[in-house]
Structure 1
Amino acid sequence: METNKNNTTVEDKPTEDQKKFFLDLLPGKLIDIQFNNPIQVRFKLTLIGYDTGKYLILKYPAQAGKNDYSDILVEGNGAIVRYIIEDERGECVAFSTSILAISFRPERLIYLAYPKKIESRQLRETSRLPTHIPAKISLHKGDIDADNKSLLHGLIIDISPSGCRFAIHVSSGFVALKKRQVFVHILSPLDNEPVIITSYIRNNQMKGNRLSVGIEFDASEQVKLNKLLEAYSIDID
């Protein structure tokens, strides 16, 4: 196994690291699969499940008719699978595989060979440090009233000069935040006054009743952010 700052490779039979990657592949996850023979075709398919060391099961492309892609979706054809881990790790995972079998009853399913080698790549240019900083998110910069119902109260669970991950406990009927501009409110430990950072929601992930939101800070806020990180004694190279 080879590891560096930007890439991780896991080889041979399933190891603890390899099993860790597959813990992120929960049933229902949408993954990207690319075929290059005889032409390049990509699908977004839903994972049904997998048997460690044996195979993965994906839903057959919904848009494919009985005879569509008959030269691509065939046993033995190779493919590349990619999926994103959007949580604290922020990684893109990829591996090569091939079609073991295709079933048409009772459901149309694709069986893929279990990978012998898994690679991951960090999606972030800068590393983030774990934190436990109370914060708020608003859709408008002027929303600073503590009783304002439009403010989302949560915790910054990791942070860097370029972004952070914000976690909040929500009700079952809560609709995940869309990709858009928001404002992150963080209390300065120096004077207990809120520092408002113009930011952008890049992704979000719901796990149970916890919503984890990936946030990118606006580049114009770097001076303000550096002072804030210094006040929290957070030193990120």
Structure 2
Amino acid sequence: MAEEKNNVVEKENLPDKNNKFFLDLLPGKLIDIQLNNPIQMRFKLPLIGYDIGKYLVLKYPSQAGKHSYTDVLKEGNGAIVRYVVEDERGECIAFSTTILAISFRPERLIFLDYPKKIESRQLRETSRLKTHIPAKISLHEEYEPDSKGLLHGLIIDISPTGCRFTIHVSSGFLALKRRQVFMHIISPIDSKPVVISSYIRNNQMKDSNLHVGIEFDAQEHAKLQELLEAFSISGD
């Protein structure tokens, strides 16, 4: 990661509990762990928890038997940990660590040394502005105001390349897989719907809301610029 423009955040031995680092690391979050000795291997493992300033605990790979990967998954071996923060930040967090211990009872767990320094890399080319714009998404381009296939929600941040869309789960929703969808946004100028071809890139549950990461089709750039200007949002 040395060649990338990263923001490096130094951590003290006992970091502030209010640091965003801890808010990102919730139990169950998938963590990418890369081990390089004696061969390079990567696993995506759920986080079990951590003790601030001491260690992080990951679940042992489910595909590994008790005697599998023992040459790479062993005490003292170095590892690189990465995880993605979606939300408005759109960051990839990474840090180097060391395997402190492997536990086999009562559960198979991996204990990692707590990071003393982390690096963050922005995933988005353009920053997003916070908004509160009502919108709808559907699987079809045709706009039908009363269609049951429309999902009603709010655009809570936006840029010319994408947005974050939030839906109350109680309103019901489609299986939001990575696929093409169409965003329907009412223009503030003539109150007509503007339909934007888009793609679902990720979704995340927070409390009773589903947050959906949307990428706009590159061919919709001119239409989006007009719409952002109508909402008095700069596309620069």
Q: Which residue of 2 aligns with 1:46?
A: 46
Unaligned runs of 5+ in 2: none
Q: What amino acid does structure 2 have at the position aligned with 1:19?
A: N
Aligned partners of 1:199, 1:173: CA distance in 2, in Å? 20
Q: Which residue of 2 aligns with 1:152?
A: 151
Give the number of equivalent residue pairs: 231
Deviation at 1:89, TM superposition (A): 1.1
Q: Which residue of 2 aligns with 1:194?
A: 193
Matches within 5 A, 1:161-180: 161-171=160-170, 176-180=175-179
CA distance 1:203–1:54, change in 2 (3 Å): same
Q: What amino acid does structure 2 have at the position aligned with 1:135?
A: A
Question: Deviations 1:186-237 (Å, cap 9, x if unpaired)?
Answer: 1111111110000000111111210000001001111110000011110132
Moved beyond 6 Å, runs of 4+: none
1:20 pairs with 2:20? yes
- Is contact 1:131–1:158 with CA below 8 Å preserved after alignment? yes
1:210 pairs with 2:227? no
Q: What amino acid does structure 2 have at the position aligned with 1:155?
A: L
Deviation at 1:173, TM superposition (A): 7.8
Matches within 5 A, 1:7-156: 7-13=6-12, 14-16=14-16, 19-142=19-142, 144-156=143-155
SS of alignment partner, residue 24 of structure 2? coil
TM-score normalised over the length of structure 1: 0.93
- The range that moved more, 17-26 or 145-154, is 17-26
Aligned partners of 1:119, 1:18: CA distance in 2, in Å? 18
Aligned partners of 1:105, 1:172: CA distance in 2, in Å? 43
- Is contact 2:15–2:52 with CA below 8 Å preserved after alignment? no
Identity of aligned residues (%): 74
Q: Which residue of 2 aligns with 1:222?
A: 221
Q: What amino acid does structure 1 have at the position aligned with 2:182?
A: F
Q: What amino acid does structure 1 have at the position aligned with 2:152?
A: H
CA-based RMSD of the aligned residues comes to 1.7
Aligned partners of 1:210, 1:99: CA distance in 2, in Å? 36
TM-score normalised over the length of structure 2: 0.93
Deviation at 1:66, TM superposition (A): 1.4
Question: Deviations 1:131-186 (Å, cap 9, x if unpaired)?
Answer: 100000011011x2222111000000000000111011113985651000000011
SS of alignment partner, residue 203 of structure 1? strand
Aligned partners of 1:166, 1:155: CA distance in 2, in Å? 6
- Is contact 1:10–1:17 with CA below 8 Å preserved after alignment? no
- Is contact 2:203–2:213 with CA below 8 Å preserved after alignment? yes
Aligned partners of 2:203, 2:51: CA distance in 1, in Å? 28
Deviation at 1:11, TM superposition (A): 1.2
Unaligned runs of 5+ in 1: 1-5
SS of alignment partner, residue 224 of structure 1? helix
CA distance 1:44–1:172, change in 2 (3 Å): farther
Deviation at 1:69, TM superposition (A): 1.0
